[in-house]
Structures are given as structure tokens and as C-alpha cells.
Structure 1
Amino acid sequence: MRRFEFVVDREHAHAVNETFTGLRRLRLVALLAAGLAIAATVALVWSGQAWGFLLAVVCVLIAGIALWVALWTPHRSSIEKLYHDGVLVPAVVSDAEPGAIVLLALVDIAEPAAPERSWALITRKVRTLPGHAPRRGEQVPAVAVRTDRAPRQVGERWQLVTAMPIAWGTRDDTVIERAREAINEVEWRLLAQNLALAARVKRTATKRLLLDPQQLPADLGKAGAG
């Protein structure tokens, strides 16, 4: 597992890190849903109707799930934890337009205990990319962030994973360059050769395209991205 340690600039990350912003929004939605479910439960019980008690049970379950999400999200959304736990992966700009930049990343989506590696191309659309030029082919070191929490993964693979740029955690260009150099050139070259596949990846429901192991470079397994 290739990790990349650096001091996270929390002020910068809070301002630009879209992964963190999304998780924070999830927590607010969960809290709102829990509040509404609790209010509905009180109203249904107060009605005194038999059917109201049945619906109240459902609302209690909804409130419980929503509160669990709200309590889980702060732990999950720790910026330092996201970067510390994430595997360092290569990403490149595949498309840039006003207000949106599309990243194409190479990620091993196999679980650590899986007997074989499973390489895939994933895409992510972002609004800002500080520290990088928004040009096609720009190398963007990132970490792979798992966004699904299923207890068991189908086929020993992550079901949902996204790329979070190192540049969202620091304003220091030397840190970004150090991360870029820590990624094997084999991986950067493979991404550059497959830029044309970005449009195909974006059309998939999971924004992910598995690569044929037979067509991968022989020394990819030595790159240390798994």
C-alpha cells in the first residue's frame, strides 16, 4: 500500500477540498432527515391511531439510520484521515472547460487481502484544481478515497472509489511535486496512453472501467500503487 505523508493545510483544505465538502453536506442532510423523522414519529404517536403506531416504527428506524450517518460522517470526513488512509495514485486532466475539470485516475480497486490486483480507470469532475494547470495531460497526484461502506465487497473489490488531489490538501508546490515523483513513471505513461478512454469511463454508471490484466505493462505490479 503506497501512502504519502504530508502536513495537511486545514484552512486550504476546508476552502477547496470537494470531497470534504460533500461529506459535510451529507451530514447536514442526515441531521435534517433525522429531525423530520423524529417529528413525524411524535405526530404519529400523538394521533393515537393504530396505523400511526406502525408508521411511527418506520420513522424511528429512519431516524436511527440518519443519526448513525450523521455521527459516522465527522469521523469519516477528517481531512488528515482521508489523506493518511488513502493510497497514492496518479491522475491526469483529461478534459478542461469553464467551471469543470475532468480527472482520469489509475486505481487498484482490489481489497488489500484480495489474491489478485484489479486495475481500473476512474474519472472525477472537479470545479477547482489549485497548484495545477487545467490542460489536458497535466499530472495530478492524488489519493484513492473509498466512498462505499458495504461490509462485504463483491468480488473483493471496492464498489465506489474516487480520487482526491494532493493539491486539495496543501498549497506547497514542493509537496505536490514530491507526490508526483513518488508515483512510478509506468503508471503516468499508462494514463497518458489511455486518455482517449476518459469519455468512455464517464459514460459508465460507476465512472469506472476495469483494465484487461493481459494488456497491462509487465512491471505495473512493481509500481507499488496497490
Structure 2
Amino acid sequence: MRNLSFPLDLNHAKSVNENHTEVRRLRISALIVAALLIAGAVLSFVFGSTWVVVLGVILAVFAVGAIFLSFWLPRQVGTLASLYAKGELVPAVIAEKRPRGVTLLALVNVSKHPDTDPRYALVTRSVSNLPGHNWAVGAKIPSAAVLGDRTSRGPQDVWQLAGPMPIAWGTRDRAVIARGIAEIPAWEWAFLARNTKRFKEVDAAPARLLALQARELPTEMR
């Protein structure tokens, strides 16, 4: 599997990496819900009748669950360093410019056995910042693939979720970004260039992931 090794600029990543921002937003939401549930439980215990106290106990249990979720999420997703270290280097291009960001189109190997049984898909992701890049349709955005499943009962051969995490979210060093572009074969970039206009088709697919048939791929990838 192809990876790009580079020193992670953690302060930069925490300020611009939207994976980090999404996890932080979910943690804050879980803690706010927990605080509201705890407040409801306390009021039930202080002022409620027997049945209201039972409701308070239920609220307290849900509050514990919300607190657990806020600590479980970062461990489940992984640190930014681990996501870059284990994520395959993949090509992504700007497919669409929007008022508050861009849509990325990426070519990702979604196989759970990527070296022996590759399965490729086009995936899209909306992002609001791309430091160090020209915001033009077709611009090359080297990225690390972030893969996952919706549920533990997902298929055993492919990941259910996939998305590109730009290298530019992990470093300010433009030489690293240029190296990422260079280490991705020209035929992969050419394939994305030919398929850029398919981003709406990909956006409409479940989980914004469109599986590709072998006949659609460049000869070098079959």
C-alpha cells in the first residue's frame, strides 16, 4: 500500500484539519447532551415523585452513555498522526467550486485486502479549506484515504465509508505536497481528470461512494 511519510505539523493540523474539527464538534455535542440529561436527572431526584425519580434514573444512564461516547469517539477514529500514517496516498482533484468551499473527487482503493484484491471507487467530499493549493477546478490534491464502516455487520471485502484527507491539512510544507503529487502515478491523475464531471453522480451514490468496474480503470490498475 502506498503511503506518504512526512512530519505532522500538529498545531497546523488542529487548526485546519476538518476530520479533527468534525470529531471535536461531535464530542462537544455529546457533552452538551450529557449536561442537559444530568440537569434533568437532578431535578427529577429533587422535586419528582416516585415515577419521576425513575425517569431521572433513566436520564442519568443516558447521560453516562453520552459522556462515554465523547471519550470513545476520538479513540475509535484515531489520532491525526495515525490517520496519515495508515491512510493510503490517493489522488483527489477539485471537481466543483462552491460559495464556501470546494467538492473533492478522489480515487480510493476501498478493499479490506488492498494489496491482494484491490477494489476502486470514486468518492466525493465537501471541504471548506485547502491551504497551500490553488482553488481551481482540476487542481491536484494529494490525500490520505480515511476508511471505515457504518456498522460492524458491514461487508467483509470492502469498506462502507471512504474519504480523502488532504495532505495539506497535515503540513504547511509545499515540498511535501509536491512530493505527494509526484508519488501518485500519472495515469491515476489522468483518470480523475477524465472523470471530474462525474462528481454529481458520485454525490448521489450511497455514502458518496461509487464503486468502479475493472473495465472503467486504466490498464495499469486492472
Relative to the length of structure 1, the TM-score reads 0.86
Alignment partner, residue 72 of structure 1: 72
Q: Aligned to 2:134, what secondary structure does the other structure show?
A: coil
> 1:114, 1:156 within 8 Å by CA — same for their partners in 2?
no
Relative to structure 2, which stretch is displaced further, 68-77 or 195-204?
A: 68-77
- Residues 68/151 of structure 1: CA separation in 2 closer, same or farther (3 Å cut): farther
Could you tell me which amino acid in structure 2 is paired with residue 92 of structure 1? V
Percent identity for Structure 1 against Structure 2: 38
Could you tell me which amino acid in structure 1 is paired with residue 131 of structure 2? P
Alignment partner, residue 134 of structure 1: 135
- Deviation string for 1:19-44 (max 9, x for gaps)? 11111111111111222223333333
Alignment partner, residue 171 of structure 1: 172
- 1:108 and 1:61 map into 2 onto residues whose CA distance is 41
Q: Aligned to 1:219, what secondary structure does the other structure show?
A: helix
Following TM superposition, where does structure 1 have runs of at least 4 consecutive aligned residues deviating by more than 4 angstroms?
none
Alignment partner, residue 214 of structure 1: 215
Alignment partner, residue 153 of structure 1: 154
When the two chains are superposed, the root-mean-square deviation of aligned CA atoms in Å is 2.3
Whether 1:100 and 2:101 are equivalent positions in the alignment is: yes
> 1:20, 1:77 within 8 Å by CA — same for their partners in 2?
no
Number of equivalent positions: 220
Relative to the length of structure 2, the TM-score reads 0.87
Whether 1:194 and 2:195 are equivalent positions in the alignment is: yes
Relative to structure 2, which stretch is displaced further, 142-151 or 207-216?
A: 142-151
- Deviation string for 1:149-192 (max 9, x for gaps)? 63332353222222110011111111001111221222212111
- Residues 59/202 of structure 1: CA separation in 2 closer, same or farther (3 Å cut): same
Q: Which runs of 5+ in 1 are unaligned?
A: 222-226
- 1:125 and 1:19 map into 2 onto residues whose CA distance is 12
Whether 1:39 and 2:39 are equivalent positions in the alignment is: yes
